[in-house]
Chain A
Amino acid sequence: MNDDYLWNRSGPPDPDIHRLEQLLGRLRSVPPLPHLPEADAERPRRRGYGVLLATAAIVLVVAGTCRTMRAPAAWEVASVAGQPRIGSATLARRGRIAVGETLVTDSASQARINVSTIGEVTVDPDTRVRLVATRQGHHQLALERGTLHAVITAPPGQFIVSTRSATATDLGCAYTLHVDEDGTGLLSVTAGWVALTFNGRESLVPAGASSRTHPTLGPGTPWYADADEQFQDAVYELDFGSDAARRAGALHTVLERAEAGHAVTLWHLIRRVDAADRDALVDALADQVAMPAGVTREAVLKLDAAALDQWWNALGLGEAGWWRKFAAPMPGPQQ
């Protein structure tokens, strides 16, 4: 038995273990972070103060509710390393970023932003991020370059990050988003889901999956982290390549290497290949997830939205309508 492969997938794959990974990997699932109740507060022990404390509590709750509902127009920012800047001002330890202001980190600095009352964003070195909007139920950053890590506890759809190549709408939890100077980006979701939209193109990226973004073409097809490099290369070619021969080779690679658990990738690619190539992708997806009753092959090949959505629903990643309910409208390039 190849213990190295069993330990961390290094070394030559053990065929039995690889087969078990493929089989049992189908059971992998990351449910979204549940809405959290208020944690138990320490209770006062002196009865004499009961009425007074109750009154105070009501006042605090009302005040807190009003504060939450208003959502502050500026967010707290803390320096994690070095000296980040907000506009032209250097951030020594703590500060605030207002709508329209830009937080900039150099190669030696890092910062953490409290996203109103709904989560936090860690801003890595060499990053520029602008606060676009913050109000009840809508909080938006623009990532101009660099990397941020978002952990959001709000209901889906409230936190949005726009880049030159996609708009990322948080559907509950944690992800990392990177964008280069030229707008090329990479999203990796660690928990929950993220919807990427741009110029009429959408990608629904579940936990454990990543998706590239292209400055003119928008979001690419998601792939799971266990997909090998050749598979990822091929997906990239099908998403963004234009050479017919290379695309044909890429399709062949995807079909050859598609394993159980790659249904999300295959589903997205159906919309992104030429009509003549759809048949093969439909077959490959059907091998993994049966076409639901009521969905016809003809409808899928014609890219009928309802048919594709029904098939998506059968993947076990939530209803397509749920995703879209919260996803931001599909914008053009960020100004």
Chain B
Amino acid sequence: MAHALELACGHRPLTYPGSSRTADPTRAIPDLAATVRAVVSGDQAAFARLYADYVRMIHAILLGRVPHRDVDDLVQEVFITAYTRIRELRNAAAFGGWLATIARNRATDYRRQAREPVELPAELPGGDAIESETLAVLDIVRKLPDAYRETLLMRLVEGMTGDEIAARTGLTPGSVRVNLHRGMKMLREQLGVEPAQP
């Protein structure tokens, strides 16, 4: 049966034969509704599967809104909130969008509770030139419109493909493609770089 992760290294390739659940990060949850139902009934292993599949999307959403140093903590808070409130989710197929909304609301609360709520605090690089450049680019991405910002961070930070972004967010692949294209165009403009010629 077909594999889902094959690492041909010039040596004997290792495959995961016959698997529908593998380490392939682009895979979709085979039965999201059943997984959500299992979580509702208290199945923590089922929730761990959801966590594994959606954690990068949530990380990207929060990274676009709160200081880098606090993102990991807030990711965990978002999932704890989702776990305790999952009975409120009426349509299991909307899990990704529902979870994303929790993340956006949590980021809003975070900023509201911050002492200087008007602007996102500037990131403070540790002195490393690459880190400084990374955080400078991140600040520029954060100024893009929400849809472009989130989609670009999922692609450029989290390494998600367009199909995977669509599957997790609930957006259509066409919308994701447009967000990526337009977001990248705006980012290039902000960075002052010309698109590469084909």
- Show the binding face of A for B, using Cβ within 8 Å: 1-3, 6-9, 14-17, 20-21, 23-31, 33-34, 36-37, 39-40, 107, 110, 114, 119-120, 122, 124-126, 147, 149, 151-153, 173-176, 178, 180, 184-186, 188-191, 208, 210, 212, 225-226, 229, 232-233, 236, 260, 288, 290
- Show the binding face of B for A, using Cβ within 8 Å: 1, 5, 7-12, 14-19, 21-23, 25, 39-40, 42, 44-45, 47-49, 51-52, 55-56, 59, 63, 68, 71-73, 75-77, 79-80, 83-84, 86-87, 128, 130-131, 133-134, 137-138, 141, 153, 155-159, 161-163, 177, 180-181, 184-185, 187-188, 193, 195-196, 198
Interface pair B48/A152, CB less than 8 Å apart: yes
List the count of A-B residue pairs having beta carbons below 8 Å apart. 192
Interface pair A191/B48, CB less than 8 Å apart: yes
The CA-CA distance from A17 to B162 in the complex, in Å, is: 14
Interface pair B195/A174, CB less than 8 Å apart: no
* CB-defined contacts of B19 to chain A, threshold 8 Å: 124-125, 147, 149, 176
Interface pair A20/B49, CB less than 8 Å apart: no
Closest to A27 in B: B157
* CB-defined contacts of A191 to chain B, threshold 8 Å: 48, 51-52, 55
The CA-CA distance from A34 to B161 in the complex, in Å, is: 26
Complex partner residue of A28 from B12, B87, B141, B157, CB under 8 angstroms: B157
Interface pair A233/B10, CB less than 8 Å apart: yes
Given contacts A16-B195, A21-B159, A28-B159, contact A151 B23 (CB under 8 A): no
Which of the listed residues A2, A21, A24, A260 has the most CB atoms from chain B within 10 Å of its own CB? Answer: A24
* CB-defined contacts of A290 to chain B, threshold 8 Å: 128
The CA-CA distance from A173 to B48 in the complex, in Å, is: 7
24 A-B pairs (CB sep. < 8 Å) = A15-B196, A21-B159, A23-B134, A23-B137, A24-B141, A27-B68, A28-B159, A31-B75, A33-B51, A33-B76, A36-B80, A39-B86, A40-B87, A126-B18, A147-B19, A152-B45, A153-B47, A176-B22, A185-B14, A186-B7, A191-B48, A208-B159, A229-B9, A233-B9
Interface pair A190/B25, CB less than 8 Å apart: yes
Complex partner residue of A16 from B8, B134, B193, CB under 8 angstroms: B193
Complex partner residue of A8 from B141, B163, B195, CB under 8 angstroms: B163
Interface pair A126/B159, CB less than 8 Å apart: no
The CA-CA distance from A126 to B59 in the complex, in Å, is: 36
Interface pair B18/A124, CB less than 8 Å apart: yes
Complex partner residue of B16 from A25, A147, A173, CB under 8 angstroms: A147
Interface pair B25/A34, CB less than 8 Å apart: no
* CB-defined contacts of B18 to chain A, threshold 8 Å: 107, 110, 124-126
The CA-CA distance from A257 to B111 in the complex, in Å, is: 40
Minimum Cβ distance to chain A for residue B163 (Å): 7
* CB-defined contacts of A212 to chain B, threshold 8 Å: 14
Given contacts A147-B16, A153-B45, contact A20 B156 (CB under 8 A): yes
Minimum Cβ distance to chain A for residue B29 (Å): 12
Complex partner residue of B14 from A151, A175, A184, A260, CB under 8 angstroms: A184
* CB-defined contacts of A229 to chain B, threshold 8 Å: 8-10
Closest to A187 in B: B23
Interface pair A151/B45, CB less than 8 Å apart: yes
Interface pair A190/B23, CB less than 8 Å apart: yes
The CA-CA distance from A186 to B49 in the complex, in Å, is: 20
Complex partner residue of A17 from B15, B45, B184, CB under 8 angstroms: B184
* CB-defined contacts of A27 to chain B, threshold 8 Å: 63, 68, 134, 138, 157
Interface pair B80/A6, CB less than 8 Å apart: no
Minimum Cβ distance to chain A for residue B111 (Å): 19
Complex partner residue of B21 from A17, A26, A149, CB under 8 angstroms: A149
Complex partner residue of B137 from A24, A29, A125, CB under 8 angstroms: A24
* CB-defined contacts of A189 to chain B, threshold 8 Å: 23
